[in-house]
A = this chain, B = another copy of it.
């Protein structure tokens, strides 16, 4: 790859400020600053690095106002993070061609239907009645259970396991080791032991969903656990039976969502959050890291803490808690006075 800053600006509809002929051969992080590389500035925490970076060009926001002299060339655009994403996607297609072909070392059940131009790697197992869409990519060791469905252009990385009757939509990406459709955790206490409640439902994953490595999404007891389109799940997340995740909601790593909870659209759930079962979480809700959600949450709320409460309230309580030593001291003094007065 070899572009000029001007060519790159053209590609993403941006404007150049500095040397339009600056040569770009690769990408770098702004704090690395490699000559010949294109970088970007999206997180204000990293602004300091732009003044000494050796990167040949940096994609910045249209309204970025430098506070010092710059030596690098600026490429100004509305959304720098989206712009670099676009350019990296172009780069990735150039250096990492899509895999194609069906390995002789794969196992495909006789009744499975396989689309065109798929990649089915060695040691993939596709069950009876399963359907693999056109251009789907099944990396080594993926397991698709009986009647499982993988939509067009979806990629399942090494060792993804899809249990029987579960459905993956189009253009999804599922990372290594994720488990889709294991039994929900349902047991009925009986005579001092637990009687297993069979989990006869399934999992439905809609289009454009990304699921992280070793994340688990359990099948429904009855009906479906549903992951709506454009949901993004990080690694090691637990989604229990009969959960529903609304469109474009994102969950960071190690989140746990208990059974039958419904979460709205465009939510942001930070790392290690736990959400109790049978709750309704509205649209556009933000849940801070490590929170424990025990109650329903209305649309557009931002909550934090365990148990989670509105973030402004929780932040005050964190400060008040830190001042407890002073409070105790004051009360001790007041008490002493009070006792003297008696």
Residues of A within 8 A of B (CB): 27-29, 32, 42-43, 45, 79, 81-82, 84-86, 88-89, 91-92, 95-96, 103, 105, 107, 121-123, 125, 139-141, 143, 145, 157-159, 161, 163-164, 173, 175-177, 179, 182-183, 185-190, 192-198, 200, 208, 210, 212-214, 216, 218, 221-223, 230, 232, 234-236, 238, 240, 242, 248, 250, 252-254, 256, 258, 266, 271-272, 274, 276, 278, 289-290, 292, 306-307, 309, 313, 316-318, 320-325, 327-328, 330-331, 333-335, 337-338, 341
Partner of A177, one of B179, B248, B335: B179
* A230 → chain B closest CB, angstroms: 5
Partner of A213, one of B84, B105, B216, B321: B216
Contacting residues, chain B, for A214 (C-beta < 8 A)? 177, 179, 214, 216, 236
Q: A200-B27, A248-B192 are in contact. Are A161 and B161 (CB under 8 A)?
A: no
* A32 pairs with B81, CB closer than 8 A: no
Q: Do A256 and B253 form a contact, CB below 8 Å, given A188-B82, A338-B337? A: yes
Known: A163-B157, A188-B79, A190-B79. A321 touches B324 (CB 8 A): yes
A159-B175 contact, Cβ under 8 Å, with A197-B81, A316-B325: no
Distance from A3 Cβ to chain B, minimum over Cβ atoms (Å): 15
**Which residue of chain B has its CB nearest to the CB of A327?**
B331
Residues on the B chain within 8 Å of A145, using CB: 158
A-B contacts, 13 of them at CB < 8 A, read A29-B221, A29-B222, A86-B195, A89-B196, A175-B183, A176-B182, A179-B213, A179-B214, A185-B253, A193-B230, A316-B325, A317-B322, A317-B324
